[in-house]
Amino acid sequence: MFKKVLIANRGEIAVRIARACRELGVRAVAVYSDVDRASLHVRLADEAYPIGPAPSRESYLVVEKILGVGRYAGCDAIHPGYGFLAENPALPRACVDAGIAFIGPSAAAMEQLGAKTAARQIARDVGAPTVPGTLSPINTVDEAREIAREIGFPVILKAVAGGGGKGMRSVAGENQLAPAWRDATSEALNAFGDSRLYLEKYLERPRHIEIQVLADHHGHFVYLGERECSVQRRHQKVMEEAPSPIMTAELRKAMGEAAVKLARAGTYTNAGTVEFLVDAQRNFYFLEMNTRLQVEHPVTEMVTSLDLVKLQMRIAAGEPLPFSQEEIELRGHAIECRIYAEDPDNNFFPSPGKIVDCGVPTGPGIRLDAGIYAGWTVPNEYDPMLGKLIAWGGDRKEALARMGRALQEYYASGIKTNVSLFRRILASGDFQKGAVYTRWLDDFLSAGPALEGLEDEEESRAEQAAAIAAFLWHRRHADGANAFEASTIPESRWKTESRREQVNREPQP
């Protein structure tokens, strides 16, 4: 096992990796930009080194700076986390040159499986189902029209260099093709500097379900079940859960084996995620592969009782997987909410600033992977995710109930958070039934602010009651040592918070 690991990241994932290091008896080395000097990941690390100004392109994205700290601190491995350099092959290449282990796949595997077009070609080669469509870019709108006629409308145009929905246009019929082609081409050029498009059969209301894969350096590949990631807002995941409410043992096996075949064909090693779209008839289609640890990895950890970050480190250190596919068991149900410093009553604009006070939900089945603390200032230079609230239960019903309870206990004052959004989602009948699809949240939010089945005044009464109940709960639990240190919190916290939520509630756009 490594002696010292550099964490080339920040925020909650850097805290997560530092914790895994601590548990393995490995020294954790943090890097931080000027605005992150007082961050939690710096506090928890054994050593910490400055890497420059706040802008990522001058700090967390600079391979030479990361490797410079790695050499200077005498690290024997680097963990990239997610985002930043996590899927940039330059980092594993630089690690090989520096004789430092990279906790992730090889640069070659990253390039082969991380590139959408190449990955779709491999998927076709190994027989993993892909959506009917073109594998290579289309050159003209006339060519697109021919292919669309063959496949049959509706179709969807996608950017070759794309992701996150940019340069993507669904096309209901032939008359809409030319304008959609024009819009998608220019959007792709603006977003990626590459206007090339490809075309697929459009799947109506698909789910986004992904398979967690692990592969060691001894030829062992396993899948660790799936994660339901359909609750997204504008292509950004908001809530995830494991297992998927629509999963069957047969479908899980088929998707897992397809994911492993793809990873094996790309000589993948370490942790990776294979994303699929699943239609209403439970047909699944390869979407893309993520050659990194994902934000939502905790829901898989909760139902498998495995620590994916420690497994990543063991694999990178050359250890064989400590279990076979047959030994992997899924137990219970886990749900994750991504907590952001953003204002749901102001179009989810980021809401950076000083966290005057925050409370940590605890109790049975609750996990909070957070990178914040009271007194810390949320910088506005980075993604405003504060952490992830995860609830595990023996079944989905219990996990939902625990998440609802934990969301009542969660608070942060001094900044706005999107916690109220989760209360609304949990209150939705569709979500309770697991009847979601990739555009469900966008549709749900554009349907307006009313809680399902409640008139406006009923909603405000329900919310007032919830706020008062939470205030009374905290006051009742204020004595004695508890996670809220309520005695140090001004009495008016809940009143302020609930009043602010009440007063500011504007109808959703």
Residues designated catalytic: 292
Task: Choose, by CB under 6 A, the member of 33, 56, 59, 232 that binds ligand MV4.
Answer: 232
Helix (H), strand (E) at residue 188: helix 177-192
Question: Count of residues binding ligand MV4 (CB under 6 A)?
Answer: 16
**Least distance (Å) from ligand MV4 to the CB of residue 201?**
6
**Least distance (Å) from ligand MV4 to the CB of residue 287?**
6
- Pick between residue 290 and residue 498 the one whose CB is nearest to ligand MV4: 290
- Pick between residue 49 and residue 431 the one whose CB is nearest to ligand MV4: 431
Strands (E) located in 121-206: 155-159, 169-171, 197-201
Task: Choose, by CB under 6 A, the member of 208, 261, 310, 388 that binds ligand MV4.
Answer: 208
243 upstream amide cis, omega within 30 of 0? yes
Span 255-294, contacts to ligand MV4 by CB under 6 A: 277, 287
The answer to whether 390 and 299 have CB atoms below 8 angstroms apart is yes
- Pick between residue 107 and residue 287 the one whose CB is nearest to ligand MV4: 287
- Backbone torsions φ then ψ of 64, nearest 5 degrees: -60, -40
The answer to whether 493 and 413 have CB atoms below 8 angstroms apart is yes
Residue 200 binds ligand MV4, judged by CB under 6 A = yes
**Least distance (Å) from ligand MV4 to the CB of residue 132?**
9
Cα–Cα distance measured from residue 171 to residue 62, given in angstroms and rounded to the nearest whole number:
40
Cα–Cα distance measured from residue 133 to residue 199, given in angstroms and rounded to the nearest whole number:
5
The answer to whether 431 and 458 have CB atoms below 8 angstroms apart is no
Residue 203 binds ligand MV4, judged by CB under 6 A = yes
**Least distance (Å) from ligand MV4 to the CB of residue 209?**
10
Cα–Cα distance measured from residue 495 to residue 498, given in angstroms and rounded to the nearest whole number:
5
- Pick between residue 49 and residue 285 the one whose CB is nearest to ligand MV4: 285
Residue 93 CA, chain-centre distance (Å), reads 25
Span 112-131, contacts to ligand MV4 by CB under 6 A: 131
Residue 164 binds ligand MV4, judged by CB under 6 A = yes
Return the bridge partners of 411, or none. Answer: 359
Cα–Cα distance measured from residue 116 to residue 130, given in angstroms and rounded to the nearest whole number:
12
Shortest CA distance to 438 belongs to which of 237, 171, 283, 188? 237
**Least distance (Å) from ligand MV4 to the CB of residue 200?**
4
- Footprint on this chain of ligand MV4 (rule: CB under 6 A): 131, 156, 164-165, 200-203, 206, 208, 232, 235, 277, 287, 438-439
